[in-house]
Structure 1
Amino acid sequence: MTKQILIAEKLRIAAILNNERVDQFIVAQGQHQIGDIYLGMVENVHPGIDAAFVNIGESERNGFIHVTDLGPLRLRQTAGSITELLEPRQKALVQVMKEPTGSKGPRLTGNITLPGRFLVLQPSGQGVNISRRINEEAERDRLRALAVLIKPPGTGLLVRTKAEGVGEDQIIDDLEMLCRQWETIQSTVETCQPPVLLNRDDDFVHRTLRDHCGPGLDKVVVDSLQVVERVKAFLGPEKNTVAVDSFASAEELLEAFRIHAAIHQALLPRVDLPSGGYVIIEPTEALTVVDVNSGSFTRSATARETVLWTNCEAATEIARQLQLRNIGGMIIVDFIDMESRRDQLLLLEHFMKAMGPDKARPQIAQITELGLVELTRKRQGQNIYELFGGQRPNSGSLGTVATVPGKATMQPLATGTVQAPVTAPTAPVTVPTGPGAANVVDGSNGGSGNRRRRRGGGGRSGASAPVETPATPSATPGEPETSPSPEVESGPSSTNAPETVAIPMNEDQKQVFSWCGFNPALMAPTPPRDSNAVAVRVVSPGGNTQSPLTEAEDPTTAATVVPQPKSDETADNTARTVGGNAAVPQAETPMATRGEAGPTATDNEQDNGRPRRRRRRSAA
């Protein structure tokens, strides 16, 4: 996996890329940012909510601090009402722990922390703590002993994950820098009047590298040559293993890596899955709702495999989207219903493994009686909707407006419709209206023609929805349009011998398919000719796959005949697929014979460019 960090310092936006795909945004915007240290003044104390409001320089919204976050601000250490611990007009040294959202002011704390590259200094803390991500016991003991020796009296230290394997000199230098920073803050408190900002990490490049630079980093790309030297100075000995590149401007950097397009895509509610399914993500004021649909994925042998495969793909993508969109708070995920408890357990294990690298520590709470997965994720700054999204002007609550960095234009995004970023004036696009316009609207919210399986048999019986053929515009006016005809299965195969398919799979793929109970035939590059009798033989990568029939005759290698179910029922009651194409009844979709141009159904019922006459029914 190739990991890159893009830093556009002039626009104060950065991105983490894994295998050329954006997985996380880092944005420093707003008047109050996480980690800012203020000298404020207590305005109001409310015993009814055990909290107080602190003036930190914003006239409209004061900061909010709860009694559990007072720390050294307490007037006395014994327990009591907040009116006994704080008083109006009291000076308060506080730090922003949560940025303001909507009409709410920033969340404050009296427990100051100063993060470094390898350590976190806690001036009012106690003891030494080691990151839970450091698993080797010998390394934990080494770091703990070193931290105890160098810790200043009356403070606390947190050893970060990046300190694993780092020499003592680098860790000591990091601690000395944090101590000097704390001494500067203390001296400023004695000479200034509240409210005032005491400390902010304005070096965006340093903060981004400090929080996200680690093992596995391959490249850092910045927006100027001056920043290159600062990056190399920060990397130190690692500069020989990490490539550093630069662009002439921040706008060129964002355009080269399509960051604008990634922001637009992340604001859309619909996320497509590799196998044809899709996920709908809808944020609300109280929580975020995620819906999973199988879409057009019907290649699995059974409905159970289709559901489990789609849910596992959705779990991986949801874990990525939570990080990419920085969604926090309560999250409800509506996976496709699964009857098997074993499948539910496999899905939860896969979901937890996918969310493992997330530093916001998502926690799965429970599965409700309706099959909904409840989880929580720690809020860390503003999400992507608060940073780049907004309400479309003069449209009430419909639609979304994306404001990307470095762009003066505001571009509307329709629900479920992918819209590329506008880089130059373009010709206006005419949107069809009227009765026929419904056929060209992207049905992202359930308009795919596929139904989801629901408890109680709601999706197990009854006829499937008719499949409509989208209109295909003619390349040249007046010429007949040809429509590709799907092959319709007319009966069982005439050959009795099963078709032998050689599937190359490595050990990891074998373990995953065995663990999930999937059919190896899913890895076939083309669907088998007869799905009722298929002999699947698994070979090693690079093995002989050109003549599997000859190899199958060897008695030492056993080919497994995988019978396919003959039922027309699928996970979503979709049309049955044959050779990768949907078998559509001829009465619903006209098909062209070979060598002839078949008529194509359009909104205006045109045939070869001429309107078709309709017969009017006579009034009874």
Structure 2
Amino acid sequence: MPKQIIIAEQHHLAAVFWEEHIQELIVATGNQQVSDIYLGSVENVIPGIDAAFVNIGDAERNGFIHVSDLGPLRLKKTAAAITELLEPHQKALVQVMKEPTGNKGPRLTGNITLPGRYLVLMPYGKGVKLSRRISVENERSRLRALAILIKPPGMGLLVRTEAEGKAEEAIIEDLEFLQKQWESIQYQANSAKPPILLNRDDDFIQRVLRDVYSADVNTIVVDSPAGVKRIRQHLMNWSGGRSPQGVFIDHHQEQQPILEYYRVNAAIREALKPRVELPSGGYIIIEPTEALTVIDVNSGSFTRSATARETVLWTNTEAATEIARQLRLRNIGGVIVVDFIDMDSRRDQLKLLEHFTKALKGDKARPQIAQLSELGLVELTRKRQGKNIYELFGQTCHTCGGLGQLANLPAKAEAEAIESSPIAVPAIARESANSVRPILPNSVERSDRSAPVVESSPDLDRDRPARQLELATNDRDLGDINGSRRRRRRSKDLLIKDESGEAETSEANINNLDRDSDRYNNNDERKSRLQSRVRGEEADLETVFVELSELEQEIYALLGVSPIINTQKEYKDPKSVLVYVRAAEEALPVATAASKASNTTDATDNETASNSPTVESKEENNGSAEDTEDTSDRRRRRRRRSSATK
């Protein structure tokens, strides 16, 4: 069947299509790629694993080389421990066998190989080898004789499948190119200082054509006009200067990117999923693990066969064909275990294995079927060639960390409910919630453990905020603080007793001071007395206005947290801060409120101090006894004021 090659040189990605399906992906990315040749330095030798680590220029990971892959790096030709064959800081000319995966560095070898179009030059090898895919005996004899004649002394040659039927001149020309490449590498290795990269296939188009192009390819599409010229040039060189026949070479000029137009990206997204649908309605599940890859076959909705035996055999046959394609597409290597649907007939088992072997025959990684186990599992191995599709295009989920599962813990719902609250409670408030025990405000005036009421005097009133803060920090009084704050929110305004026993609002109704200023100004004696008290109390205190909605006030009171944390300011001595809490809808800018309070001589006697209990309003009337007001009168006056403000 004809094949198509789609090359996206800009992304170093190529796809091979066969029967409108992607059979293989070629990707060249990363710092260390297969066939790269480095001049490295031996860092340390580990006799416990018969291996050494070689520095090839990667600051994070060193290369790994086993004792069986040392080749010409051996200091002794006889068998010995690796500590006698290698020594630290020794120069090492190595080649990358396997690209780095996960936390593992690249696998290295000292047996250098240089691949060409028709031949593979092995500078440290011996003899002549032929590809197993050359099946015609006369052609094998011709190529073997030619390779023996042209083989350089002291080197080895491997004749590739593409050399079948090619002229001798083309094969000799390919060998001359490889010899020049090896001479250049040797010259650099003698003059360079390790670690350094000596050779890499920088021409991505040449690499793709060398590894994938064959006589059954009829279409090649590339993403640049310069790529078209280079493709023609390479094919002419391999054809003895003749223009390639039967191959359509095109430049992709559509507005949609080449990878999207030919659905290469869509195929990659599907290949990252574990489930693969089969044409008949069955499906397979592919699950890669650290040790091996497990593939499970299921019949799914396929029930069109006459008997169960035919259904099982048909589904397994389709699955075997698709598994062979998925192994190449995903570039899965290592140990692979396939769990086909159980078949009782031994004849059906052998028929399935024969079909599976035929489907794997076109894979260049040479998969080898080991056996059919007693449990009906088919075991096979596939040579690792570069990174698989999960390492190239996969990304670990940042939510589950690659587990594929999210923990649903018992206390998770409660924690999410707290986090999703409409009012963002500060962290300090959430911490205090664990230690504060809210008390229902059934005792409005005082509780048994509340702070005692202190009679008003100028000295005591001046020190009252400090004492209140000290009481607020005491765990013994936190419950009373919550109850008093709830009482203060219901009354909403602190009351100031005037000489006639009437009550005026001082904090929440601060806007009414402008309206009542004339009445205060007419009474010079009372104005002077109130001004003196305000100056005496606020001389040593810093006034802060905090705007809170009723819901926020409720939450802060329940948690026993001071509103001062909303000021976003640090105070050296919080005890010297006088905090006024105002409703958000009635709030004024701090500067305006302070100005009006000074002009109209705000006669406020009750400060809402940080973390302090409610202080009952008291005022001396000509030095006489204090006035008190019961709860019913307060509620009556509160309703009267709220109706007036509305």
Q: TM-score range by the shorter chain?
A: 0.5 to 0.7
Aligned length: 400
Matched, 1:320 2:319: no
- Cα shift at 1:397: 2.3
- Cα shift at 1:354: 0.7
**Aligned residue type for 2:299:** S
Does the aligned pair in 2 maintain the 1:267–1:389 contact within 8 Å? yes
**Aligned residue type for 1:384:** I
Does the aligned pair in 2 maintain the 1:2–1:20 contact within 8 Å? no
Does the residue aligned with 1:229 lie in a helix, a strand or coil? helix
- Cα shift at 1:198: 0.4
Within-5 A mapping of 1:426-437: none
Matched, 1:41 2:41: yes
Aligned to 2:375: 370
**Aligned residue type for 1:289:** V
Aligned to 2:639: none
Aligned to 1:253: 258
- Cα shift at 1:310: 0.5
Aligned to 1:19: 19
**Aligned residue type for 1:98:** K
Does the aligned pair in 2 maintain the 1:270–1:281 contact within 8 Å? yes
**Aligned residue type for 1:247:** H
Change (3 A) 1:392 1:226: same
Does the residue aligned with 1:240 lie in a helix, a strand or coil? coil
Within-5 A mapping of 1:198-217: 198-217=198-217
Does the residue aligned with 1:10 lie in a helix, a strand or coil? helix
Change (3 A) 1:162 1:278: same
Does the residue aligned with 2:104 lie in a helix, a strand or coil? coil
**Aligned residue type for 1:22:** I
Aligned to 2:165: 165
**Aligned residue type for 2:96:** V
Within-5 A mapping of 1:149-548: 149-236=149-236, 237=242, 239-248=244-253, 252-399=257-404
Change (3 A) 1:199 1:249: farther
Deviations 1:103-147 (A, max 9, x none): 000000000000000000000011111111111111111111111
Which whole-Å CA distance do the structure 2 matches of 1:381 and 1:250 have between them? 32
- Cα shift at 1:167: 0.5
Deviations 1:493-545 (A, max 9, x none): xxxxxxxxxxxxxxxxxxxxxxxxxxxxxxxxxxxxxxxxxxxxxxxxxxxxx
- Cα shift at 1:239: 1.7
Change (3 A) 1:312 1:50: same
Which whole-Å CA distance do the structure 1 matches of 2:342 and 2:175 have between them? 52
Change (3 A) 1:250 1:25: farther
Aligned identity (percent) is: 68
Change (3 A) 1:250 1:146: farther
Q: Could you state the TM-score of these two structures normalised by the residue count of structure 1?
A: 0.63
Aligned to 2:629: none
Deviations 1:262-298 (A, max 9, x none): 1111111111111110001111111111010000111
Does the residue aligned with 1:42 lie in a helix, a strand or coil? strand
Deviations 1:196-245 (A, max 9, x none): 00000110000000001112010110001111011011111362221100
Higher relative contact order (CA 8 A, sep 6+): 1
Which whole-Å CA distance do the structure 1 matches of 2:202 and 2:113 have between them? 16
Deviations 1:85-120 (A, max 9, x none): 110110000000000000000000000000000000
**Aligned residue type for 2:210:** R
Does the residue aligned with 1:133 lie in a helix, a strand or coil? coil
Q: Which has the larger radius of gyration?
A: 2
Aligned to 2:465: none
Does the aligned pair in 2 maintain the 1:10–1:250 contact within 8 Å? no
Which whole-Å CA distance do the structure 2 matches of 1:103 and 1:238 have between them? 47
**What is the RMSD computed on CA atoms of the aligned residues?**
1.3
Within-5 A mapping of 1:105-144: 105-144=105-144
Which whole-Å CA distance do the structure 1 matches of 2:320 and 2:141 have between them? 36
Deviations 1:353-405 (A, max 9, x none): 111111111111122222111111110000000000111222232459xxxxx
- Cα shift at 1:60: 1.4
Which whole-Å CA distance do the structure 2 matches of 1:395 and 1:334 have between them? 28
Structure 1 residues not aligned, in runs of 5+: 401-620
Which whole-Å CA distance do the structure 1 matches of 2:387 and 2:243 have between them? 31
Which whole-Å CA distance do the structure 1 matches of 2:364 and 2:65 have between them? 24
Q: Could you state the TM-score of these two structures normalised by the residue count of structure 2?
A: 0.61
**Aligned residue type for 1:125:** G
Does the residue aligned with 2:244 lie in a helix, a strand or coil? helix
Does the residue aligned with 1:390 lie in a helix, a strand or coil? coil
Does the aligned pair in 2 maintain the 1:224–1:247 contact within 8 Å? yes
**Aligned residue type for 1:292:** V
**Aligned residue type for 1:361:** R
Which stretch of structure 1 is more off in the superposition, 239-248 or 334-343? Answer: 239-248
Does the residue aligned with 1:158 lie in a helix, a strand or coil? strand
- Cα shift at 1:15: 0.3
Which whole-Å CA distance do the structure 1 matches of 2:96 and 2:228 have between them? 30
Which structure features the higher share of helix residues?
Answer: 2
**Aligned residue type for 1:240:** Q
Which whole-Å CA distance do the structure 2 matches of 1:196 and 1:173 have between them? 29
Which whole-Å CA distance do the structure 1 matches of 2:263 and 2:400 have between them? 29
Structure 2 residues not aligned, in runs of 5+: 237-241, 406-646
Which whole-Å CA distance do the structure 1 matches of 2:99 and 2:255 have between them? 25
Change (3 A) 1:250 1:26: farther
